[in-house]
């Protein structure tokens, strides 16, 4: 259960700004804003979606900072009333809609802060997903660093032994859970892919997250200096609302349902036969981001950076980062990720909130 996951983490006082009141747009506002979101999706060439705990609440998994979130209730000495085991939870409308939008080419990458494994269960391919805080259904070899799918949620958190020897028979390789504890370094490959995709995106969309945890909470802003767009879909206000081009306050399931309907897409139902975590599927299925994928994306990233640099040198006041003709690919390695964020620490951003703590 999600509160059991929270209980398995090390003690940490800074869990963030908790229990902020939720806001709901009127029906008319929602229809108007969904129309705008659909327009942005149709005109954008590289769309990245950033998901938080709010997309899993309708699966029975509580969020962390909402009025009835795990951390909010913990502060009151209470436990969530709605709770379900990770093994029993199934993907929501939002999870399945995202898979559909990826398949149809409207969404090009998903970056998740969630550890519940529901993106995996929806059968969203690994090549379209970064999991910045880990996954309850994934174990990783401490030697070869390859990841493998589990049929049940890991009994441990904090990168501890959980699954015996590595299936690849690495010398002394032991399988560990890949769930981050407080201030653990983020997984390098997932973070690199997330950083580059967020920067390359002409449209970043956040779903169900207050964006308080860094570096994940700052990734949706990476395209702003190149004139990219930011859409925030959340019931509570977020720390980046002032920088958003569009904010929608309603349930994410409703937003994605309306979006898909207007695009003429049918959201598929969850199918356990397609779920990699089910025992009926092949055991030890690999879930590793391939180095080739990183290298290919790095080429695009370096090309875009070179194009933007050329525009700056030409004295253009507004960059055409997303529509410029692709220059010759640079052979230089990707530049390190921003200052403290290059360390990829899993921790809250306390800059804007002196009493802040963490969240998913």
> Does 215 sit behind a cis peptide bond, omega within 30 degrees of 0 on the bond before it?
yes
Left (φ > 0), alpha (ψ -120 to 50) or beta: where does 3 sit? alpha
Task: Give pLDDT, residue 70.
Answer: 64
- Residues labelled as active-site residues: 133
Question: Distance (Å, rounded) from C-alpha 9 to C-alpha 340?
Answer: 23
Structural domains present in the chain: 26-70+89-133+186-274+290-307 (3.40.50.1220)
What's the distance, Cα to Cα, between the start and end of the chain in Å? 14
Q: Which 3 state secondary structure label does DSSP give 301? A: helix
Task: Give pLDDT, residue 280.
Answer: 63
Helix axes 27-43, 252-262, angle to 10 degrees: 60
Of 127, 169, 149, which is closest to residue 289 (Cα–Cα)? 127
Task: Give pLDDT, residue 301.
Answer: 95
Task: Give pLDDT, residue 352.
Answer: 40
Task: Give pLDDT, residue 337.
Answer: 36
Query: Is 3 annotated as contributing to ligand binding?
Result: no
- 205: phi then psi, degrees, rounded to nearest 5: -120, 130
Query: Is 233 annotated as contributing to ligand binding?
Result: no
List, for residues 129-147, the tens digit of each pLDDT value: 999 999 999 999 999 999 9
Task: Give pLDDT, residue 199.
Answer: 96
pTM of the entire structure?
0.86
- 141: phi then psi, degrees, rounded to nearest 5: -70, 135
Tokens of 112: 């998740």
Task: Give pLDDT, residue 318.
Answer: 58
C-alpha dihedral sign at 44, 324, 206, 249: negative
The string over 15-52, giving b where at least 16 C-beta atoms fall within 10 Å of a residue's C-beta and e elsewhere, is: bbbbbbeeeebeeeebeebbeebbebbeebebbbbbbb
All residue ranges of the chain with pLDDT < 70 are 1-19, 63-78, 80, 82-83, 280-283, 316-360
Query: Is 100 annotated as contributing to ligand binding?
Result: no
């Amino acid at each position: 259960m999600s509160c059991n996951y929270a209980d398995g983490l090390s003690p940490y006082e800074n869990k963030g700004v908790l229990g902020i009141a939720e806001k709901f747009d009127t029906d008319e506002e929602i229809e108007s804003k969904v129309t705008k979101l659909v327009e942005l999706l149709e005109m954008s060439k590289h769309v990245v979606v950033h998901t938080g705990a709010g997309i899993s609440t309708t699966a029975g998994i509580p969020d962390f900072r909402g009025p009835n979130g795990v951390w909010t209730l913990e502060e009151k000495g209470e436990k969530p009333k709605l709770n379900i085991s990770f093994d029993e939870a199934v993907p929501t409308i939002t999870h399945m809609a995202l898979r559909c939008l990826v398949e149809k080419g409207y969404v090009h990458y998903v970056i998740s802060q969630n550890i519940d494994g529901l993106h995996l269960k929806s059968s969203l391919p690994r090549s379209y997903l970064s999991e910045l805080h880990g996954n309850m259904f994934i174990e990783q070899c401490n030697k070869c660093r390859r990841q493998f799918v589990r049929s049940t949620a890991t009994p441990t958190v904090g990168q501890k032994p959980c699954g015996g020897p590595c299936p690849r028979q690495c010398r002394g390789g032991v399988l560990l859970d890949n769930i981050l504890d407080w201030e653990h370094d983020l997984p390098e490959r997932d973070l690199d892919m997330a950083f580059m995709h967020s920067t390359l995106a002409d449209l970043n969309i956040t779903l169900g997250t207050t964006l308080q945890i860094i570096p994940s909470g700052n990734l949706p802003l990476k395209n702003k200096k190149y004139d990219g767009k930011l859409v925030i879909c959340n019931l509570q206000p977020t720390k980046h609302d002032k920088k958003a081009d569009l904010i929608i306050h309603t349930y994410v399931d409703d937003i994605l349902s309306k979006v898909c309907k207007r695009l003429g897409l049918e959201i598929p139902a969850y199918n356990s036969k397609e779920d990699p975590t089910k025992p009926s599927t092949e055991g030890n299925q690999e879930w590793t981001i391939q180095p080739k994928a990183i290298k290919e994306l790095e080429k695009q990233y370096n090309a875009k950076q070179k194009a933007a640099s050329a525009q700056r040198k030409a004295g253009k006041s507004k960059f055409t980062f997303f529509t410029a003709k692709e220059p010759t690919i640079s052979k230089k390695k990707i530049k390190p990720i921003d200052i403290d964020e290059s360390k990829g620490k899993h921790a809250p951003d306390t800059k804007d909130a002196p009493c802040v703590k963490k969240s998913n």
